[in-house]
A = this chain, B = another copy of it.
Amino acid sequence: MYQAPVTYPLERASSIFPGREVVGPDARVSYGEMMRRVKRLACGLAALGVGRGDVVAVADFNSVRFMELAYAAGLVNAVLMPVNYRLPPALVSEILGEAQPKVLLYSRPFRELVGAPGASGARRLALEDAYEGLLGRPGDCGAEVDPDADYVLLFTSGTTGKPKGVLYRQWKMLAGAMGIAGQLSLYDTPARLSSGDVILSLIPMFHILSWGSIFIAPMLGSKLVFIEKFDPAAVARAVEEEGVTWMNAVPTMIYMLLEAGLRFRGLKVLVGGSPLPKRLAERMKEAGMAYSLIYGATDMLAASISIRTDRTRSDDDLRLTTHPVPYARLRVVKPDGSPAAPGEIGEIYFQAPWMPEGYWRNPEKTRESFVGGWFRTGDIGSPTPDGGVRVLDRLKDAVKSGGEWIPTSILESIILEVPGVRLAAVVPVEDERWGERPVAFYVGHAGEEEVRRHLEAAYREGRIAKWWIPDHIMRIGDMPLTSTGKINKLALRDLARARLRGEA
C-alpha cells in the first residue's frame, strides 16, 4: 500500500464515479456531492477549532454524515474517534476521559451515553441540531492532507478485560482497508468484490470504520448502503430497494437473517468477527448466499481472507482457512517458541505495513503484544500446507489441558450440528489434575445426553481427540453476550465455576 491520505478514495470516486451514491438513514448523496460536502464540513470543523491531532469523537449509528465526518477529519488532519455505543456507559465515559476529544458529536439516542463526565473538556454537539450548520460553511478549509498524520483512535471491544486504544495514521488505515479490497478483487473467492457491486455495510463504524467500507466502496466506485441499526427487515428492504449484491456481517447477524426466514439468492457476504459455524455456513448456502471469511481485529486491521488455492477442495476449506491479504504475514508459533508445522496448533503472530506502533498510551500492553516486529494476536491457530491459517480460538478462550490446547471453536461447531441446538460455547474451568478442562454450554431444546453422544461420534469419526470432549455439558436458557454481540465467555466461566460448586 502506497502511503496515500485517507481522503484519496473519495477524491477518486468524485472524479471517476461522481454519480454513484452513498445511501444512509439520514441522506442519499452521490460521491460528487459528498466530496463538495466534505470540503465544507472541514471548514465547519475548523470553525470549531479542530486542527491537526485534535480528537473528534462521534457517537452515531452508521450514516452518511458519519462517513462525511470521517473524511472531513482526514482533510484537516484531525483524529476521528468513533464511539462504541454498545459498551456500558461507565466504560464509554472512561474511554472518552482517556481520549480527551476536543469535539464530541452525538446523535440524540446517545445523549445520555456520552453525557457522562468522561469528556468534560469537549464541546458537545447534537448532530440533529448542528450538522447542517457545520455543512453550511463555504469554501475549502482543508489543510494539506498528511498521510502520516494520526487519523483514527479505535478501542478494542474488550471481550476479555479493559478496552485498549489503537491509533492509526492516515496511510495505515487506508492500507488496511485496501488489504481487504485487494484480496477480494485479485483472487477467486466467493465474496469477490468489484466496482459494479452494491455494498451494504452492516458492521458498525466503531469496528474499524465499518471494516474499512467507507474507503473500500469509493475506491471501487461502488454504491454504498448503510442502515441505522441491524434488523432483518431493514436488511431485506435495503437488498430489495437498493440492489445490494455484497455485504459484511458477523455470524450473529447472518443467524438472525436466516432465523427471520430471509433468502438472498446471489448475495455475497464477507463474514468475520468470530468463527463461522459449519451449520450456519450450510444454511447460508441453502439460502443462496456466498461467503468469504475475514480474520482481522482492531489491533491489526485486515489480516487474512479465505481464497481458493490449488489445495482448496471444499466449501469447508473456505470456511475454516484464511490466507494473508497482500503484504500481510502470519506465523504460527508453538508454546515452545518454534514454528508450528501444518496441522500443529500455536499462537498466531501478525505483521503488515499497517501494523500499529503499539497500544495507545499503554507501554505495558504494547510490550506484551508487539514483540520483535510482530504482533501477537492472542489467537490460536494452525498453518495449512498452502500458506493459509486456520484460526481456532482466542488464546484466552482456549482450554489448555495437560499442556496442550483444546480449540473450543471446533467443539462448539460440532455441538451446533445437533438438531435443536441454537447456540453453543465451550469455556475452560480450573482442574487440579489437567490445569484446565472444557465445559460446554448450549441453548436449544436438544437433550444434554444427545449432545454428548454427538461429540462421542465425532471422536469416533476422527474429527476430535477423545480428551477434548467436555466433562460437563449444560443446557442454559440464554447466552450471555458482550456489548458487541459476541458470546461473553468470561460470564460463562463464572457460571461454570458457580454451577460446578453447586451455586447456580
Contact = CB atoms under 8 A, between A and B. Distances in A.
Given A186-B185, A219-B326, A16 B195 contact: no
A20 interface: yes
A175 interface: yes
Contacts of A175: 2
Given A2-B353, A175-B2, A310 B17 contact: yes
B221 A187 contact: yes
A1 interface: yes
Nearest to A192: B194
Contacts of A4: 327, 353
A483 interface: no
Contacts of A323: 16
A346 interface: no
Contacts of A1: 1-2
Contacts of A326: 12, 219
| Chain A contact patch, size range | 35 or more
Interface in A175-220: 175, 181-182, 185-188, 192, 194-196, 219-220
Contact of A186 (B18, B181, B388): B181
A397 B308 CA distance: 48
Contacts of A308: 195
Contacts of A388: 16
A454 B196 CA distance: 39
A286 interface: no
A15 interface: yes
What number of copies of this chain does the assembly contain? Answer: 2
B188 A196 contact: yes
A220 B187 contact: yes
A114 interface: no
Among A8, A20, A307, A309, chain B packs the most CB atoms within 10 A around the CB of A309
A281 to B, nearest CB: 22
A8 B12 CA distance: 27
Contacts of A196: 188
Interface in A346-368: 353
A15 B387 contact: yes
Contact of A16 (B18, B20, B182, B309): B309
A386 interface: yes
Nearest to A193: B186
Interface string A209-236: 0000000000111000000000000000
**3 closest residue pairs by CB, A with B:** A15-B387, A16-B387, A1-B2
Interface of A: 1-4, 8, 12, 15-20, 175, 181-182, 185-188, 192, 194-196, 219-221, 307-310, 323, 326-327, 353, 386-388
20 contacts: A2-B175, A2-B327, A3-B353, A4-B353, A15-B386, A15-B387, A16-B309, A16-B386, A17-B309, A17-B386, A18-B310, A18-B387, A185-B185, A186-B194, A186-B220, A187-B195, A187-B220, A188-B194, A219-B326, A221-B309
